[in-house]
Amino acid sequence: MKEAEKIKALGTMQGYKKEIENMCAQLEALPLWNPAATLKKECREVLLRMDGLKTRFDRKLVVTIIGPGGAGKSTLMNAIAGTDNLSESGRRRPTTEKTLLLCKEPQDADDLKNVLGENNLLVKVAPDIPFFDHFVLVDTPDTDSTARQAHIPLVQKAIKGSDVLLCVFNAENPKTRDHVDFFADYIPYFQGDALIGVLNKCDRIDAAELKQAILPEFKTYIHAAWNRPMPSLFCISARRHLRHPGWEPNAGPRHDFDQYAELQQVIAQSFNRPEYGIESRVENTRHLRNFMLEEVRGTAAKYTDKLLEARGAVARAEQSGLQKAFAAIREEGGGQGLGVNVLLYQRLANRWVGPMGWMIAIWARILIFGTGMMAMFRFGNPIRQVLGVISSLRHFKDAQAHVAGAEKNARVGAAMRGYRVEIMKNWPEIAEQLVQGGFQPSIRRPGHLIPQNQALDATLTGIWQAALGATLDRTSRRFSNFILQIFFNLPILALMGHIGWVTAGHYFSGDYLTTDFFLHAFLTAAIVLFLSFFLFQGCLRLFSSPENIERHTFRRIQEELDPFQQLSLNPLFEQLEIILAL
């Protein structure tokens, strides 16, 4: 395989691993959900197996034969190797007492020696075996013999370290299905999809019965027992393909239906390709990823109905609690009118142009500095002027506090109380639904549901700021449209145009105007400008007073409050959202 393709394959495997790491991180964030502990353990095991696949990325493919005693594992191995005595076969049980490894080169056994232990592995090196260039063949001990307690751990380790499994069963043994059930506990140790079934000794059974009844029933049964499909299932007679089958008299094959050639073709053409080993590791990593995803999703799906009910109850309680909170804010009152007025005039100043725009901008600043600034301009006693400066600074701080209060709405103490009372009233129902959804019984204590003061304060403030900002923007747009700007700017612009025309005419004719003219013109312009501004203020006060703005803000909050956005107020609700997202 080209080096670039190897790098690409490693990148694909790393991508699969990253998905499981992300899922493991999600499960770490679910300390109160009982199934998370088991799923985390499975995730870690899957990650270890993925690492194992990566470490043996460049080693030869490992093809392992498993099955009960008497199924013909050793006979099949001899047939594949093209010899009669490579692996001991016969009636004595256990036939295979050690794990047998067949390979072309001694170093091919190094990895399995580390996995199984050198004392448990019998290595046979046969350089002349055909089509064994890119894989090794492993024959495992019997699992149903008198030595089964010692053999089973070896079989488990061999399955874990395999890339391909040849699962051999005795077609004429009525207990074959028992052996399928037995291996159901060990097949999950296998890390890939290359699972091949072999029904041996099929020549001993009537061909029609084999094809029409036994084979389809066995496929269905093994799929259900192992909870995974068997991609390939071959009916063979392994003994027929030994050099000396040693048939007993009058006990030869009953028919010629034998799929050994197809099985041998898979072994020789698929497993013996140099790139198949890498493809297999990538596919096995993908299989592990899919297994873990299905495991997590399947577990979460068992609790989905109850968790959705709990989510709905939480959403309703959150919505009701926040409505109570804002109702408490509204009832508290608190003189936010000045701050709201300043915020409105600041927005209007950004939208208006012309002389009225100047007046609105100046008025916004006057609102901030308050009456103390006006006192600074009074004629008379210098001490009063100093006091006026001090007063302006004091009022400036007060005005800034009102502006900040209007944006933040500091009346959250009553809001928090209203929120808590409403949530705790609904908590028993929510807690029961969550417990049925897999959460720990300890969540019945209400301490799990009340968010920290800072979190609730930040949430209430954020909702209030968004609603108030939207209301102020809407109001400022209404009172800054083109027609209104023309209407209120036109009188002063017309007067200033007339004054300018008269002044220019006299200037160019050499007939210069007196100071009294300019004084009267200035006063007239100021009066017209102030009257226009006062008229504008009257309209604004009539239709959009601070009280009206607050009322519209609360109405917007009540109408547009999205309960599902508030599930992040509490870590418990965050866990609920994570589970439902799984």
Convert the pLDDT of each residue in 151-184 to its tens digit.
888 888 888 888 889 999 998 886 778 888 888 8
Which residue matches tokens 């012309």? 354
Confidence band for 376, pLDDT divided at 50, 70 and 90: very low
What tens digit of pLDDT does each residue of 60-109 get? 888 999 988 888 888 998 888 888 777 655 444 445 567 889 888 888 88
Measure the CA–CA gap between 407 and 415, rounded to whole angstroms. Answer: 16
pLDDT at 426 (0 to 100): 78
Minimal CA–CA distance to 291: which of 197, 152, 283?
283
354 against 91, higher pLDDT: 354
Q: Provide the 8-state DSSP code for 256.
A: -
pLDDT at 18 (0 to 100): 94
97 against 348, higher pLDDT: 348
pLDDT at 449 (0 to 100): 55
pLDDT at 405 (0 to 100): 46
Residue 138, strand partner residues = 64, 101
- Percentage above 70 pLDDT, the chain: 79
CB atoms within 10 A of CB 465: 15
pLDDT at 52 (0 to 100): 79
Which residue matches tokens 């917007």? 556
pLDDT at 563 (0 to 100): 47
Pairing of strands 61-66, 135-139: parallel
Helices marked H in 184-302 = 207-209, 215-226, 260-265, 276-302
254 against 387, higher pLDDT: 254
What's the whole-number mean pLDDT along residues 109-131? 83
Compute the Cα dihedral for 375, 379, 385, 387 and give only its sign.
negative
Confidence band for 23, pLDDT divided at 50, 70 and 90: very high
Confidence band for 36, pLDDT divided at 50, 70 and 90: very high
Measure the CA–CA gap between 517 and 497, rounded to whole angstroms. Answer: 15
Minimal CA–CA distance to 182: which of 72, 64, 63, 67?
67
pLDDT at 5 (0 to 100): 79
| Contact of 435 with 441, CB cutoff 8 Å | yes
Confidence band for 314, pLDDT divided at 50, 70 and 90: confident
Q: Is the pLDDT of residue 417 over 70?
A: no
484 against 415, higher pLDDT: 484
pLDDT at 571 (0 to 100): 64
Measure the CA–CA gap between 453 and 459, rounded to whole angstroms. Answer: 10
Q: Tell me the angle at which helices 337-351 and 354-376 cross, rounded to the nearest 10 degrees.
A: 140
18 against 413, higher pLDDT: 18
Measure the CA–CA gap between 308 and 548, rounded to whole angstroms. Answer: 39
Average pLDDT, the chain: 79
What's the whole-number mean pLDDT along residues 11-29? 92
What tens digit of pLDDT does each residue of 538-552 get? 888 888 887 788 777
Measure the CA–CA gap between 203 and 456, rounded to whole angstroms. Answer: 76
Residue 467, strand partner residues = none
| Contact of 579 with 300, CB cutoff 8 Å | yes
Pairing of strands 135-139, 99-103: antiparallel
What distance lies between CA 373 and its chain's CA centroid? 57
- Give this prediction's pTM: 0.57
Confidence band for 452, pLDDT divided at 50, 70 and 90: low
pLDDT at 385 (0 to 100): 34
pLDDT at 412 (0 to 100): 53
On the 0-12 / 13-18 / 19+ scale of CB atoms within 10 A, 501 is exposed
Burial 431-453 (b: 16+ CB within 10 A, else e): bbbbbebbbeeebeeeebbbbee
Residue 232's φ and ψ, nearest 5 degrees, are -135, 135
pLDDT at 331 (0 to 100): 63
- Percentage above 90 pLDDT, the chain: 16
pLDDT at 150 (0 to 100): 80
In terms of residues, how long is the chain?
582
CB atoms within 10 A of CB 244: 8
358 against 186, higher pLDDT: 358
Measure the CA–CA gap between 479 and 483, rounded to whole angstroms. Answer: 10
Amino acid at 450: I
Burial 293-316 (b: 16+ CB within 10 A, else e): bebbeebbeebeebbebbbebbbe
Q: Is the pLDDT of residue 39 over 90?
A: yes
pLDDT at 352 (0 to 100): 92
Confidence band for 410, pLDDT divided at 50, 70 and 90: very low
pLDDT at 406 (0 to 100): 44
